[in-house]
Amino acid sequence: MRNKVVIITGASSGIGKALAFAFGRQGSKIVITGRDGSKLENTKTELTLEGIDTLSIVADVSIELDNKKVVDKTIVHFGKIDVLINNAGITMRALFNDVETDVIKKVMDINFYGMVYATKYALPEIIKTQGSVIGISSIAGYRGLPGRTGYSASKFALQGFLESLRTELLKQNVHVLVACPGFTTSNIRNTALSADGQIQGESPRDEAKMMTSETVADYIYKATVNRKRDLVLTAQGKLTVLLNRFFPAFMDKMVYNILAKEKDSPFK
């Protein structure tokens, strides 16, 4: 991936930040985006200190024209785009019966439409370089998670979109990867939206037992180099996908019981 130009959305922390280091350390030129200018600048400073050629652009993926701005500035600065990593994402945690519909819309605007907008504007350049479009999905894109209806819907939509896009681009040698990390030590649960759209704050899960963002980023880097179509991580994640395919009714009960044990679970 040396001298490849890689755009990573939502790259000021978590998996996005780890991906910037993973690709940058291999010689890629990195474009990082995010809504928080201060955090983004701190990440750029850390990357630059490691000698990684980095461009940071404050942008909100849920705003269509912000995505056009990212692509335009990348072309002006680096002259091309080889890889787009649609990483920006947010989750929610509340029963559908309790949640405000604006919360689900916000999740869809970031997780799904943000990916659509970024891909729409970057794709013509990626077709030129026969590069990669990557979507950071979730096991929730294979198996709907109770208490996370909006999040699961956004990831199912992301995977359906990218599968369709992959088929459309079959003759143009563009690589499309759907990466599903499983539970990862990132800040996504800390910023999860509650039923009324407020930030949840504390993670309900034991983060110490999860795969690190850095390990996830290394797997995604290798999958990009090898132009894999799908990447499902963690033994729990792979088992969930497999069992859900063959024993969906059993998994309804299993997933319910597991998530009901979370701290402050919305299940009564």
Q: Say whether 256 is catalytic.
A: no
CA–CA gap between residue 174 and residue 123 (Å, rounded): 9
Question: What is the structure's pLDDT at 102?
Answer: 96
Question: What is the structure's pLDDT at 201?
Answer: 59
CA–CA gap between residue 187 and residue 164 (Å, rounded): 30
The mean pLDDT values, 10 residues at a time, for the chain of 268 residues are 97 96 98 97 98 98 98 98 97 94 97 98 98 97 95 98 98 98 67 80 60 95 98 94 96 92 79
Give the distance, in angstroms, between the CA of residue 245 and the centroid of all CA atoms in the same chain.
Answer: 23
What CATH number did the domain enclosing 35 receive?
3.40.50.720
Range of the domain at 15: 5-260
Asked if residue 68 belongs to a domain, the reply is yes
- Residue 151's nearest CA partner among 92, 201, 203, 204 is 92
Tokens of 147: 């208490």
CA–CA gap between residue 109 and residue 144 (Å, rounded): 19
Tokens of 86: 């649609």
Asked if residue 196 belongs to a domain, the reply is yes
| Coil, helix or strand at residue 99 | coil
Residues in the chain: 268
Asked if residue 57 belongs to a domain, the reply is yes
Asked if residue 268 belongs to a domain, the reply is no
Cβ(108)–Cβ(150) below 8 Å: yes
Asked if residue 265 belongs to a domain, the reply is no
**Distant-in-sequence, close-in-space partners of 158: CB < 8 Å, separation ≥ 6:** 86, 111, 112, 115, 135, 137, 141, 178
Asked if residue 144 belongs to a domain, the reply is yes
Tokens of 4: 């490849």
| pTM of the complete model | 0.92
Asked if residue 72 belongs to a domain, the reply is yes
Tokens of 35: 């809504």
Asked if residue 123 belongs to a domain, the reply is yes
Question: What is the structure's pLDDT at 191?
Answer: 76
Question: What is the structure's pLDDT at 222?
Answer: 98
The one catalytic residue among 113, 117, 121, 151: 151
Q: Give the number of domains in the chain.
A: 1
* Residue 182 DSSP one-character state: -
Question: What is the structure's pLDDT at 265?
Answer: 81
Helices (H), 176-212: none
